[in-house]
Amino acid sequence: MRVLLAGGAGYIGTHTAISLLSNGHEAVLLDDLSGTHAVAAERVEAISGKNVPLIVGDAADDDVVAAAFDDYGPFDAIIHLAAFKAVGESTQKPLDYYSNNLDTTYALLRVGLSRGIRSFVFSSTGTVYSDPADLPFTEESTTSVDLSNPYSKSKRMNEVVIEDVARVNPDVNFTVLRYFNPVGAHPSGLIGEDPAGIPNNLMPFVSRVAVGSLERVGIFGDDYDTPDGTGLRDYIHVVDLAEGHVVALEQAAAGYCVYNLGTGTPVSVKELVAAFEKAVGRELPQVILDRRPGDVAATYCDPAKAKSDFGWVAKLGIDDACRDYWNWQSQNPNGYAGA
């Protein structure tokens, strides 16, 4: 298949491009580079040994998407990863998040369907689940648009839009993938996560402490009702996650389908920090802080449906993720900007 990968130069996008190429598909990247660098696309080519075009443009612009089809199409499928994703920032910039995260979907669907795509894979989030009593979350767990932040709300709104569009396009495959905490990096160390400023997520923060650009790891709360008092999360290696996108693209049936992608085994904050210390080979300075508003004790999924329907299972664990993330960070202490 020939795939237009919107957000393709980002963290998940670059790894998904590698997975597409290694499984015999073709990928064209569309990215406005607002959260990444063009060098990420160059490194996809270096890893794969294949030509991977990068279109620098806004996936929310119909004309940009149409030009991608004119210049590099036809495309069999679109994988939509072109979203703003910082939960905290979304509460401060709600209009930016709603406009980008919804308008990209509208443009990609309008142009893609008019040009005859057969598959549309959407990157969603496990934060659309709204009832902690449902743990572990299955695809049938309670969802809501009454969520704590615009990022999560925008993802759930997108799901509603895509499901409605699917009803009037019954021959097209619309797949929604809900996942939780992507971590790790490509084992080559050439591509990885490169957040701007102070990271919002735990592993890049720990990694910045290990490389010396941040002072210490902050653990927000150690008094949760969990085995070690810290929050439990479903961390999925980005390589496994990328493979999940490709398998969903290849095997999902026509219609609207939702799948959880996760390990199903939650890892605590303290466990992740300890695994990263093992990868680095030394202890890292830590401090216990107050809980953050909105944080919950645990969130993780049951990925059984993905295994049942198309044989996907996460193969890599937290030790693998920490090893690979540290390999990336130690080779690229300043991220892509240092290339």
Q: Which residues are catalytic, by number?
A: 151
Q: Which of 27, 167, 4, 182 is nearest to 78 (CA)?
A: 4
> How many angstroms separate the CA atoms of 313 and 241, rounded?
10
Tokens of 299: 């969130």
CA-based radius of gyration for the chain: 19
Q: Which of 87, 94, 108, 91 is nearest to 31 (CA)?
A: 108
DSSP annotation string for 264-311: S--EEHHHHHHHHHHHHTS---EEEEPPPTT--SEE-B--HHHHHHH-
The torsion angles phi and psi of 151, rounded to 5 degrees, stand at -60, -55
Write out the H or E segment, with its range, that includes residue 227: none
